[in-house]
Every structure is written in C-alpha cells, then in structure tokens.
Amino acid sequence: MSGAFFTLLLRDLRLAARSGGSAALALAFFALVATLVPLGVGADLKLLARVAAGVLWVAAVLAALLSLDRLFQGDFDDGSLEVIALSPLSLESVAAAKLLAHWLSTGLPLTLLSPVLALLFNLSPVGTWALFLSLLVGTPAVSAVGAVGASLTLSLKRGGLILPLIILPLLAPVVIFGAGAVQGALDGLSNGAFGFLAAFSLAAVLLSPFVAAACVRLNLAG
C-alpha cells in the first residue's frame, strides 16, 4: 500500500520536473509577477512594503493555478487515471499522493523563493519571515482546494478556463489570512490570522482527498 503511494508520488514529482511539467513554469511566473509589480508601483518603499504580502500571496495562488491541470487532467486524458484507479491504492490515497506531489513541486518551491522576492518589496526581516511561514502553512490549502476544482472539471472541454472561476473564490480566505498574518507581524500585533490560516489549511488538506476522489469516480464513469 505505502509502496504504491510513494511510487505514484515519485512518478508525479518526476513528471513535474521533466520537460512539459509545469513546476518551473509556475516558479518563473511567480518570480516575474513579483518583479513587475515593484516596477509598476515605483520606488515608494513604504508603499511597497505595505502591499508586499498581498501581491506575493496573489501571485503565488495564480502561479499554483497554472500547474493544476497536471494534477489529474493529464492522467485523465491519456487513460493513465483508469490504470491508476485499478491499482491497490484507493482513489482517496491517489488524490492524497497527487496533492502532496503538487505541493512539493509548486507550493514548496514558491515558499522557498519568497524571501528573495520579498527583497524587491523592501519587506523587513520580520515581515519576510512571516511571509515565509504563512506561505509554508497556506500553500497546502491552495493545492488541496485546487485538487477539488481540478477533479471536478476533468471531463469538461476547456475545463482549464472554468477552473479559476471555481477555486479562486474558495481561496479568498487563504489570501486574506495569509496576507493578514504578514501585516500583523509588520504591525507587531497578533491578529490571529496565522491561526485561521493554519486551521483552514488543515481542514482543506484533510477533506480534499475525499472530495477529489468522489469527483474522479464520477468522471471515470462519464
């Protein structure tokens, strides 16, 4: 059982890293957006530090969106998902493995890159640390909510276009609490945002495999 889980996890990571995988693409998108905003806003250092958390969080969510089609769509389109569904792994475990692979290849690299990009926004060390922690805790929720959306739209033609419409509203709490946690750290207040972010993330990660598995089941029967 656990052998099959890690086999699937490693295979998804390998596909993400190779050509045609979108891990590097998402990372480049994140870096480019985060670079363009200071260029557009100008050299008002105070203003940049104020908007840093919000901009970086939105950029991270959009970057993660870019790679969501990798979660299930690729495997659905070429028939791999049918073969995987017949394996000893339950579809819930399949969804969990894919979610974890997506986070390891998207959310985690984005988080690790964020301190570098925070420099462009003149974010203080405290703010940078808070941003890093909020991304570390919050990006799993992005993958989890994304997995539900991706599994729901599997059999839709051009499902990629409707996917953001489904999941962006659901990700509003992540952006609010993620950016809020950084703002709180900058202002020296504890506003509880980090706790809410962690709670949302935990709930999303725990529930997502079950919902995604149910959606995959429906789409395989279609």
Q: Tell me how long the chain is.
A: 222
Query: Using CA atoms, how far apart are residues 29 and 33, in angstroms rounded to an integer?
Result: 6
In whole angstroms, how close is the CB of 213 to another protein at the nearest point? 11
Calpha distance 79→93 (Å, rounded): 18
Give the count of alpha carbons within 13 A of 41, CB side only. 20
| Residues binding another protein (CB under 8 A) | 3-4, 7-8, 11, 14-15, 18-21, 74, 77-80, 82-89, 220-221
User: Whose Cβ is closer to another protein: residue 14's or residue 156's?
Assistant: 14
Q: Which is nearer to another protein, 39 or 86 (CB)?
A: 86
Smallest distance, another protein to C-beta of residue 122, A: 40
Q: Which is nearer to another protein, 20 or 188 (CB)?
A: 20
Q: How far is the CB of 7 from another protein (least distance, A)?
A: 4
Task: Please compute, for residue 45, the number of CA atoms within 13 A of its CA located in the half-sphere on the CB side.
Answer: 4
User: Least distance from C-beta 97 to another protein, angstroms?
Assistant: 10
Handedness of CA 124, 103, 209, 158 (dihedral sign): positive
Nearer to another protein, 150 or 193 (CB): 150
Buried b (16+ CB within 10 A) or exposed e, 160-173: eeebbebbbebbeb
Closest CA to 145 of 55, 220, 206, 92: 206
Least distance from another protein to the Cβ atom of residue 4, Å: 5
